[in-house]
A and B are shown apart, each in its own frame.
Chain A
Amino acid sequence: MPEASTRTATLKVYRGDREKGEFKTYKVPVEAGMVVLDAIHYIQQNFDPELAVRWNCKAAKCGSCSGEVNGMPSLMCKTRMDKFRPDEEIMVQPIKTFPIIKDLVTDVSWNYEVNKRITPFTPAEDANWTFYQEDIDRVQEFRKCIECFLCQNVCHVLRDHDRKDTFMGPRFMVRTAGLEMHPLDEADRLKFLKEEGHIGYCNITKCCTEVCPEDIHITDNAIIPLKERVVDEFYDPIGKFIRGVLGVDKKKAKK
């Protein structure tokens, strides 16, 4: 395998802010195994120290480096340069759903505001902290989320219809699901999901699931079960009454 390479790649990187910007072209030498974030760093170090980009781990663990590479929402530290044809131009731009601060950096603070409104983990005073792996496999899937906000970025309710005023987005349905399905949590977030998070806006297009770098089954495992719970709670009064009479606990019944 030839390991040294003299190939250069052509990158077109968005440079600018909210108001105005343009794609600037850079030629970057390609090394084996290089990722797009490496190329961005190369530009920063050698051509343009002002180029703004977020990153931390460079190993797909922190969710900082989200961007759109040739239109594909992805983590730049996980997008290999050898994915592209040698003569292909690589367009790198910030994620679209959030306002640009500068270059590849966007203002994602809205997400942190949404998170604050979700009722935190609430165990019973006298909870018994013995629980089993099978009780938490699902919750652990949701807790893998690295908050890259790529799912928020692609969801059409936020991206095309800009309903940040009302819709919480897939990331926070995943978060809510992780709390609701925790075997020892006692809080009820269903009213919140329906009336403030507007889970009903989601029409299960599954675009969020497709881009999740952590392979969380956002729609199938988080959103759909939550929707079912909301339906049971608000639109199925008879079922709810029967469960009440039989004393079937809402959470246990769903597990």
Chain B
Amino acid sequence: MSQYEIKEHDVLVIGAGGAGLRAAIEASSLGVNVGLVCKSLLGKAHTVMAEGGVAAALANVDAQDGWQTHFRDTMNGGKMLNNWRMAQLHAQEAPERVKELERWGAVFDRTKDGKILQRAFGGHTWKRLCHVGDRTGLEMIRTLQDRGVHQGIEVYMECTITKLFKDGDRICGAFGYYREDGRYILFKAKAIVLATGGVGKSFTVTSNSWEYTGDGHALAYDTGADLIDMEFVQFHPTGMVWPPGVRGILVTEGVRGEGGILRNSLGERFMFKYLPEATKNDYAANEEEAIKWTNAAVAGEKTDARRPPELSTRDNVARAIYTEVKEGRGSPHGGVFLDISYQDSERVKKKLPSMYHQFKDLADVDITAGPMEVGPTMHYIMGGVRVEADTCMTRVPGLFAAGECSGGMHGANRLGGNSLSDLIVFGQRAGAGAASYVKNLTGHPEIDKGQIEEAIEEMEAPFKRSEGVNPYDVAKELNKVMSTYVGIFREEGDLKTGVAKLEELKEMAKKAKATGSKSYNPGWHLCRDLHNMMICSEAIARSALSRKESRGAHSRLDYPNTEAEWSTCNTAVERSEGGMKLEHTPLPEMPSELKELFKKKEPSHA
């Protein structure tokens, strides 16, 4: 039997993006011993790619802002399916968490009077996104990384966790391998925080990297936690569409926040047509009003003009673009045009430097001189591990989750900028929750030998298959199935086909084989990742099939309306003897003082 190294920590944090780093910093500052594991090098997690900003109602630019409005925007954006308590904590605590980043050395862009500058983003009533040009995530991860490193957290880089262990019903450890040479490692831990990010690699066109194979979702599911809201997959409206190699790479919403205009091949500013009745009054009525808003925003002045229709929520803009293209009004490469070139080119380069370079270097397009071509790309998953709002603990004692891998915070659709703030608010809470759990723990949970051997066996198996399939072929098939049958627009027939095909693929995935040595072998790694991708894909497809309405990011052609009876339940999946079990569980009910916030309608313009 293979050897493994053993490490022991009070709290093991899996994932070193914003959520994981913030959790590790918090737990360690509370005096418990912390280990931090990540699949890539430190500082390379998805958080580094975040562009547009972090949402927090600091009210530095629009003085009217406050947590109540942020809370209301978040719930409205999530089509009221959010866990209200998470949305409340998030709105209340985000400002303090952002200021804390500044005190730890983050250097945000400034307002004229020397405060953190904030920009407009889709679905946010006021200018709310604190940012550093279009590289906010880099600033955030570097700040947290340096803070963490100097706090004595032990970091295990390029190490992948494949299994969690329980003693009875309590968490007691985790198992993984080093990518470098495939050696195994066993972590004894009293509490574990999952902060592994999302699931995008199951789709063909995505803004997500190889890391996004839904590991945390699957680890939690395999350990007895439940996943909620998995049908809600966010397609970001603006990904690059050309050339083929960059298809899916994100074009930040910041472009629209700075005044970017969407047009179809006829030159129409089509978003005016797609504003839902309910929120129509929050947006400019015509081009003239939209231009007035943009001019004021650029000049840093107040205006009573309402914001442009391009700043509608992501689900809405993505559907609009999809429809324009489908109806034959798309751009040459199957997208639409996004134009910021009418603005002063120096300003564009200053506010959106990485977009400028991204298009220039990868697509030969100068965004200060002409429009970009953009189309929807799979970007984010709202669904995730169900947690208790205040502590981030799952229903498995000792298992916590924060960031993109957790569910509930964003409901049926996430607003841009609300992820980075989610990471620091709930990263902090998960770290505190785990530390306090450890301090109150009695007894010493132990890992069962048999479970370790099983974990090793699972990793060795792909090498033992003489007949088998190339894991990349399975991944490609999976991408095809998810993109074809479980995409932006869904209907029963497609979803059923999707579920059936996933069953076949599950069998195929079990045959994925690895060749060569264990030293830095991506093919071997993918064999294991497929297991996680299959769980998440099945959860998405089954949840989507079960929700017979359209809400937020979940659009059913056969059930186009949002139905009141579906507004009170979450879809939840869990592992059971007979396979994946699906239930509709009641949504926690908002207390009446918060309900009040949705009654009086403030005039909203920014």
> Interface of A with B (CB < 8 Å)?
17, 31-35, 38, 44-46, 49-64, 78, 80, 101-103, 105, 107-109, 112, 115-116, 120-121, 123, 129-133, 136, 139-140, 143-144, 146-147, 179, 182, 185
Alpha-carbon distance between A210 and B103 when the two chains are bound, in angstroms: 33
Alpha-carbon distance between A50 and B520 when the two chains are bound, in angstroms: 7
Whether B149 contacts A31 by the Cβ 8 Å rule is no
Q: Find the residue from A62, A107, A121, A143 having the highest chain B CB count within 10 A.
A: A62
Whether A123 contacts B107 by the Cβ 8 Å rule is no
Alpha-carbon distance between A232 and B310 when the two chains are bound, in angstroms: 54
What are the residues of chain A within 8 A of B147 when measuring CB–CB? 120
What are the residues of chain B within 8 A of A182 when measuring CB–CB? 105, 107
Whether A62 contacts B49 by the Cβ 8 Å rule is yes
Closest to A56 in B: B209
Q: Give me the 4 closest cross-chain CB pairs, A-B, nearest first.
A: A33-B243, A49-B523, A121-B105, A52-B520
Closest to B109 in A: A133
Determine how close the nearest CB of chain A comes to the CB of B333; give it in whole angstroms. 8
Determine how close the nearest CB of chain A comes to the CB of B524; give it in whole angstroms. 8
What are the residues of chain B within 8 A of A35 when measuring CB–CB? 245, 362
What are the residues of chain A within 8 A of B595 when measuring CB–CB? none
Whether B49 contacts A59 by the Cβ 8 Å rule is yes
Return the contact of A103 from the options B139, B180, B250, B520 (Cβ within 8 A).
B520
Partner-binding segment picked from B35-43, B312-320, B565-573? B35-43
CB-contacts of B446-472 with A (<8 A): 470-472
Alpha-carbon distance between A49 and B469 when the two chains are bound, in angstroms: 11
B522 at the interface (CB under 8 A from A): yes
Return the contact of B107 from the options A46, A50, A52, A143 (Cβ within 8 A).
A143
Determine how close the nearest CB of chain A comes to the CB of B258; give it in whole angstroms. 16
Alpha-carbon distance between A129 and B40 when the two chains are bound, in angstroms: 34
B587 at the interface (CB under 8 A from A): no
Alpha-carbon distance between A115 and B145 when the two chains are bound, in angstroms: 11
Alpha-carbon distance between A129 and B113 when the two chains are bound, in angstroms: 11
Closest to A131 in B: B114
Whether B102 contacts A58 by the Cβ 8 Å rule is no
> Interface of B with A (CB < 8 Å)?
40-46, 48-49, 99, 102-105, 107, 109-110, 113-115, 132-133, 135, 138-139, 142, 146-147, 149-150, 157, 180, 209-211, 242-246, 249-250, 354, 357-358, 361-364, 470-472, 476, 514-517, 519-524, 526
A45-B472, A121-B146, A123-B103 given as contacts; is B157 within 8 A of A109 (CB)?
yes
Alpha-carbon distance between A133 and B132 when the two chains are bound, in angstroms: 11
A54-B40, A61-B138 given as contacts; is B244 within 8 A of A33 (CB)?
yes
Determine how close the nearest CB of chain B comes to the CB of A212; give it in whole angstroms. 13
A102-B519, A105-B520, A130-B115 given as contacts; is B146 within 8 A of A31 (CB)?
no
What are the residues of chain A within 8 A of B245 when measuring CB–CB? 31, 33-35, 38
Return the contact of B472 from the options A17, A33, A49 (Cβ within 8 A).
A49
Determine how close the nearest CB of chain A comes to the CB of B131; give it in whole angstroms. 12
Alpha-carbon distance between A241 and B332 when the two chains are bound, in angstroms: 68
Whether A59 contacts B146 by the Cβ 8 Å rule is no
Determine how close the nearest CB of chain B comes to the CB of A120; give it in whole angstroms. 5
A112-B42, A139-B107 given as contacts; is B519 within 8 A of A59 (CB)?
no
Whether A56 contacts B522 by the Cβ 8 Å rule is no
A50-B515, A51-B522, A62-B49 given as contacts; is B135 within 8 A of A133 (CB)?
no
23 contacts between A and B (CB under 8 A): A31-B245, A32-B242, A33-B242, A33-B243, A34-B244, A35-B245, A35-B362, A44-B522, A45-B470, A45-B472, A50-B522, A56-B49, A61-B135, A63-B44, A101-B180, A102-B519, A103-B520, A112-B149, A123-B103, A130-B115, A133-B110, A139-B107, A182-B107
Alpha-carbon distance between A57 and B245 when the two chains are bound, in angstroms: 12
A131-B114, A139-B107, A140-B132 given as contacts; is B515 within 8 A of A59 (CB)?
no
Closest to A215 in B: B357
Closest to B143 in A: A121
Alpha-carbon distance between A35 and B600 when the two chains are bound, in angstroms: 53
Whether B110 contacts A32 by the Cβ 8 Å rule is no
What are the residues of chain B within 8 A of A101 when measuring CB–CB? 180, 519-520
Closest to A183 in B: B107
Determine how close the nearest CB of chain B comes to the CB of A98; give it in whole angstroms. 12
A35-B362, A143-B139, A146-B138 given as contacts; is B146 within 8 A of A56 (CB)?
no
What are the residues of chain B within 8 A of A120 when measuring CB–CB? 105, 146-147, 150
Closest to B513 in A: A49
Closest to A139 in B: B107
Determine how close the nearest CB of chain B comes to the CB of A211; give it in whole angstroms. 15
Whether A108 contacts B41 by the Cβ 8 Å rule is yes
A131-B110, A136-B110 given. 4 additional CB < 8 A pairs? A33-B245, A34-B244, A34-B245, A58-B249
Determine how close the nearest CB of chain A comes to the CB of B465; give it in whole angstroms. 13
Closest to A75 in B: B361
Determine how close the nearest CB of chain B comes to the CB of A241; give it in whole angstroms. 32
Closest to A179 in B: B105
Closest to A45 in B: B472
A50-B522, A58-B249, A120-B147 given as contacts; is B102 within 8 A of A129 (CB)?
yes
Whether A56 contacts B244 by the Cβ 8 Å rule is no
Q: Find the residue from B105, B517, B523 having the highest chain A CB count within 10 A.
A: B105
Determine how close the nearest CB of chain B comes to the CB of A75; give it in whole angstroms. 10
What are the residues of chain B within 8 A of A102 when measuring CB–CB? 180, 519-520
Determine how close the nearest CB of chain A comes to the CB of B155; give it in whole angstroms. 8
Determine how close the nearest CB of chain B comes to the CB of A198; give it in whole angstroms. 22
Alpha-carbon distance between A249 and B576 when the two chains are bound, in angstroms: 67
Determine how close the nearest CB of chain A comes to the CB of B88; give it in whole angstroms. 26
Whether A59 contacts B471 by the Cβ 8 Å rule is no
Whether A55 contacts B357 by the Cβ 8 Å rule is no
Closest to A39 in B: B245
Determine how close the nearest CB of chain B comes to the CB of A192; give it in whole angstroms. 14
Alpha-carbon distance between A63 and B145 when the two chains are bound, in angstroms: 15
Closest to A102 in B: B520
Return the contact of A49 from the options B113, B115, B139, B471 (Cβ within 8 A).
B471
Return the contact of A55 from the options B209, B246, B362, B364 (Cβ within 8 A).
B209
What are the residues of chain A within 8 A of B157 when measuring CB–CB? 109, 112
Whether A61 contacts B132 by the Cβ 8 Å rule is no
